[in-house]
Structure 1
Amino acid sequence: MNEVYDALEVREPAEREADLFAKLTEVLSRAVAAPAYAERLRGHDLAAVTSRDALATLPVLRKSELPALQRAQLPFGGLVPDGAGSFGRLFTSPGPIFEPETAQPDPWRAARGLYAAGFRKGDIVLNTFSYHLTPGGFIMDSGARALGCAVIPAGPGNTEQQLELIEAYRPAAYCGTPDFLKILLDGASAAGRDISCIKRALVSGAAFPRSLQDEFTSRGIEAYQAYATADLGFIAYETSARDGLVVNEDLIVEIVRPGTGDPVPPGEVGEIVVTSLDPNHPWIRLALGDMTAAMTGPSPCGRTNMRIKGWMGRADQATKVKGMFVRPEQVAEIGRRHPELRRLRLVVSREGETDVMTLSAETDAASEDLAQGIAASVHSIMKLKGQVSLVAPGSLPNDGKVIADERRYD
């Protein structure tokens, strides 16, 4: 299990970084052939985007914007250079968000993650992700077949029929949610079915707590998790080291402060932003709304790419206070107006029957004048009055939250 998919996974980080940004130059020139990217990137010197610092100057595209963009310009919001007929398959996800699959082997970059989970040529794979309209089933299917596996396109549900398929085909590997694997295992035990052939699993799409990992291990199944989306396919995957998730090759992953496009220091929790290097379907700084933190150093398994801690909550923290929405972008604007501040956290609570906001701000330059100036900025930006609490650097939780709604109504 310690062997790697190819030499790209163990190259020197500086070599990988140089390769990524060399490819990015071509991808950016291709992206501006799409009208929406031409508009979004107008005025930027794209030839100068040769580093992460330069990339961070480009605007963030939020996944939450995609439904409106696509409604305005069907089907892909003007974000792909060619028409829908140039792709292999066409999907939709809730939103709705329309997603194309490029016509190439392993278009969702799934093979690396499956290989890291122990999938090998000649394995039979039970794939229980949906093949209906959404890309989940095809993400796993294309990756497994790129490895030389045979795939049972089972989809979700129909437990009894799936148990019959497992007994007939004897698959060694499973793809799907961890919840459904447990349903299959419990169903087999209750019905006296033998599905002990399943020895490996790649799970995604739901929480995978340690208790469930241990249960699968006790039943003879080594299960690994992947972080994937319908837009990008495999973004990061777990390896035999069980120490974070390794970022996939040919992706540039940034962790930014929620509500901004500003990268956070390594180890700090923030929002995941991904730039892909597929010139036929480029994503330039797509903010996914999920939070994580970067891990330092190479994985103990030998892979040298950036690692992330996995899913750590949502960055979409907007909430209503006294009938008005407050948003992470507004908290970020307060930080920009007061550069002496570090981490910020807006806490919303109740006093009696009234909503109360308190902005906690880390600073080593605390003063009454600064507090009053911040309070004025809160009122100016949010159109609501709020209290201000200045605290020492390092006092606030490192959980990525810039808005914490602590109201209770019971």
Structure 2
Amino acid sequence: MTTNFYDALETRSPAEREAALLAALPAQVAHAQAASPAFASILAGVDAAAVTSRAALAQLPVTRKYELLERQQAQRASTPFGGFSAVGFGPAMPRVFASPGPLYEPEGTRRDYWRMARAIYAAGFRPGELIHNCFSYHFVPAGSMMESGAHALGCTVFPGGTGQTEQQVQAMAELKPAGYIGTPSFLKIIVEKAAEMGVALPSVTKALLSAEAFPPSLRDWFAERGITGYQCYGTADLGLIAYETSAREGLVLDEGVIVEIVRPGTGDPVHEGEVGELVVTTLNPDYPLIRFGTGDLSAVLPGPCPTGRTNTRIKGWMGRADQTTKVRGMFVHPGQVAAVAKRFPQVLRARLVVSGEMANDQMVLKVETTETAEGLARQLADAVREVTKLRADVEMVAPGTLPNDGKVIEDARSYK
């Protein structure tokens, strides 16, 4: 018998949930101190047994993504994980992934390691169905994150990955999956290609979408074509953080994380409803991140979800607390822009401008230089592709042209 909920955890009373999370917190802090050399250093002198409340948790330092990257880079010679992983290569870590940076993330052996089954269920998928998974299976963990969740739910997965649009359409037409998991922009491309080919895809009626903005306009576009799409929010470091429900009123927090919203650049929790940076403590023993700053902005919504799920809701992704931005599902960091510019002494300043509308992200690297040779622009474009794995146009401008506002990455996209 199927129900509207993945498990009983979703309908616990808020007090019961909070008590369970806070009861698990001291042990997780102690475990991070004992098993993760990085947190042994970060949390040195902290009495784990005393971290039994949100107020006590808020006294601990926030570790942000750039700090994780710095530690990884500093310790590359001895460990790829910067001392954050509690497990090493071997049976306890069947896979290791790389996110742009590069940041290396371990995958453990627990069933539904990334806790994605809950979001997949909320998107309407049920045991015994076939899912067409179009997240990447190489380098980044997205494909594995979704596949492991689908398997935990009892679904079969077609590992479509990215690209090869015509073959994706053919596989969907012949295998008749119940739905799609991947980025919203790629699903739009597949649906448009199927129409161009004259191929009907009547089996594809639902979708779980992530890694990009999913505006109401695109949601409606899918609905007009018989596809009900829901979004979820997660990261390669933390797994699932929050997921959309049929109520479509914000995203419900996952049951396996403790989420705070803090004032950007600090570790201070903001008042309910105020926009701030999402800081997450995970109860994952293999990669025990304590107060991990995602760099993403959001805010808590008042009241419970109309579906009956009782966990806290957030508004969803509301932008970046820093200039790191997501382009076509990939993070681009200010440090990557700097790394490109440093390769060319002719470049005085550089600014990456991301523009376009949903499913049509475009990057332009604007560089201040006195040299306007075509060869330099081509070399810069090649360097951007090598460093970020994304294509960009290059625009040469005169010295002093770029705004003096400290921005290395400007997100000028429309999310209407």
Q: Which amino acid aligns with 1:56?
A: A
Shift of 1:26: 1.4
- 1:157 is matched with 163
Q: Letter of the 1:38 partner, please give it.
A: A
CA distance in 2, matches of 1:188, 1:143: 27
For the residue of structure 2 that corresponds to 1:144, the secondary structure is: helix
Q: Deviations over 1:150-192 (max 9, x none)?
A: 1000101101111110111000110000011111111111110
Deviation at 1:354, TM superposition (A): 12
| 2:80 is the counterpart of 1:75 | yes
Between 39-48 and 179-188, the greater mean CA deviation after superposition: 39-48
Equivalent residues of 2:301, 2:315 under 8 A apart: yes
Q: Which amino acid aligns with 2:70?
A: A
Deviates more, 1:309-318 or 1:265-274: 309-318
5 Å matches for 1:195-234? 195-234=201-240
1:60 maps to which residue?
A: 62
Distance 1:355 1:281, change over 3 A: closer
- State, as a whole percentage, how many aligned pairs show the same letter: 57
- Is residue 45 from structure 1 mapped to residue 47 from structure 2 by the alignment? yes
1:292 to 283, 293, 298: 298
1:340 aligned residue: none
Match of 1:283 among 289, 312, 316: 289
Structure 1 CA distance, aligned partners of 2:235 and 2:323?
Answer: 20
Alpha-carbon offset, residue 405 of structure 1: 12
Report what 1:20 is aligned to: 21
For 1:67 and 1:354, the matched residues in 2 are separated by: 28
Distance 1:219 1:249, change over 3 A: same
> Larger C-alpha radius of gyration, 1 or 2?
1
> AA paired with 1:60?
V
Structure 2 segments unaligned to the other structure (5+ residues)? 325-333, 335-347, 349-399
The answer to whether the aligner puts 1:92 opposite 2:98 as a matched pair is yes
Cα shift at 1:277? 0.4
Say which SS state the counterpart of residue 184 (structure 1) adopts.
helix
CA distance in 2 between counterparts of 1:299 and 1:187 reads 36
Structure 1 residue runs without a partner (length 5+): 324-351, 358-403
Structure 1 moving runs of 4+ over 6 Å: 352-357
Superposed CA offset, 1:34-65 (max 9, x none): 21111111122211111111100000000111
Matched with 2:391 is: none
What CA distance in whole angstroms lies between the structure 2 residues aligned with 1:131 and 1:405?
Answer: 27
Question: What value does the CA root-mean-square deviation take over the aligned residues?
Answer: 2.4
Secondary structure of residue in 2 paired with 1:180 = helix
Report the equivalent of 2:271: 265
Q: CA deviation at 1:355?
A: 8.5
What is the aligned residue count? 331
| Cα offsets for 1:104-130 (capped at 9, x unmatched) | 110000000000000101111000000
Distance 1:197 1:275 in 2: 38
Say if 1:2 and 1:301, in contact at 8 Å, map to a contact too.
Answer: no
The letter for the 2-side match of 1:20 is: L
For the 8 Å contact 1:235–1:251, the answer to whether it is kept is: yes
Which residue matches 1:366?
none
1:297 Cα offset (Å) = 1.3
The answer as to whether partners of 1:26 and 1:279 remain within 8 angstroms in 2 is no
Mapped partners of 2:40, 2:240: distance in 1: 27
Q: Alpha-carbon deviations, 1:362-387, whole Å to 9, x = none?
A: xxxxxxxxxxxxxxxxxxxxxxxxxx
Letter in 1 for 2:81: F
Alpha-carbon distance in structure 1 between the residues aligned to 2:250 and 2:230: 11
Name 1:10's counterpart in structure 2. 11
Superposed, 1:7-406 pairs within 5 Å as 7-33=8-34, 34-73=36-75, 74-85=79-90, 86-316=92-322
Specify the code of the residue in structure 1 equivalent to 2:48.
Answer: L
Higher mean C-alpha displacement, 243-252 vs 77-86:
77-86
Aligned partners of 2:126 and 2:155 also within 8 Å: yes
Could you give the per-residue CA deviations for residues 273-297 of structure 1, whole angstroms, max 9, x where no partner exists? 0000012210100001110001111
Aligned equivalents of 1:108, 1:212: Cα separation in 2: 27
CA distance in 2, matches of 1:223, 1:62: 31
Q: Secondary structure at the match of 1:198?
A: coil
Q: Please state how far the C-alpha of 1:80 moved relative to its aligned partner.
A: 2.1
Q: How far does residue 248 in structure 1 lie from its aligned partner after superposition? A: 0.3
Instruction: Give the Cα separation in 2 of the matches to 1:305 and 1:126.
Output: 29
- Give me the whole-angstrom Cα distance separating, in 2, the residues matched to 1:36 and 1:89: 21
| 3-state SS in 2 of match to 1:32 | helix
The answer as to whether partners of 2:27 and 2:49 remain within 8 angstroms in 1 is no
For 2:211 and 2:40, locate their aligned partners in 1 and report how far apart those are by CA, in whole Å. 33
Residue 105 of structure 2 contacts residue 237 of structure 2 at CA under 8 Å; is this kept in 1? yes
Change in Cα spacing, 1:405 to 1:290, as seen in structure 2 (3 Å) is closer
| CA-to-aligned-CA distance 1:322-368 (integer Å, 9 cap, x gap) | x9xxxxxxxxxxxxxxxxxxxxxxxxxxxx999899xxxxxxxxxxx
Match of 1:190, SS state, is helix
Does the aligned pair in 2 maintain the 1:62–1:286 contact within 8 Å?
yes
